Each structure stands twice: as structure tokens, then as C-alpha cells.
Amino acid sequence: FSEGEGRMTIFAAESNAATFDYQAGDIGFVPASMGHYVENTGNTTLRYLEIFNGDRVQDISLSQWLALTPPELVKAHLNLDDETIEKLPKIKPIVV
């Protein structure tokens, strides 16, 4: 994390998750094959560098994945209402 303040949640199967807060100068680690997401918790720009140890990286948008899942499944498992599900983006934003 090179600038700003953020929070990273690392998640695995069966509801296992851990959340950590970071600020500029901190280093985080995500074990191989675990999903994660980063949230800007400050009021300035958050900048961080991700480095992958491998020749193949796969990027999956959690919101896009939920938007493309049948709504009745999302409602049943996550207790989201129709209005919230309709707002989920069906196109993955490009992050550079």
C-alpha cells in the first residue's frame, strides 16, 4: 500500500474470511487460490501494487458474478432484495 488507507478481506470456502486494515507503507499477503477484495476506507486516493507469483492470473468480479447468477439463488443465499440485485453491474469494470 503506497498511498491512502484501505481494508482488504481475504476469503476462502465455507465462510472463512479475514479482514485487515492498511495504510501507506504496509504490506499485505493473500495466500494462493484465495479470493480477496480491497476497499478504500480513507478520504483520499488509495494506491497499492499487487504482485502475482505465477504465469497465469485470473480476475473475477464478485459483483458481476452475482449479477449473472440467477436472482433467486442470490436472494436465497445472501438475503438481498430485488432492487439491490438489479443494481449489480453485469459488465466487469476495468481496473488499471
The residues assigned a catalytic role are 50
Say how far apart CA 10 and CA 29 lie, in whole Å: 9
**CB-side exposure of 25: number of CA atoms within 13 Å?**
0
Q: In what order do the strands lie in the sheet with 17-23?
A: 17-23, 5-11, 35-40
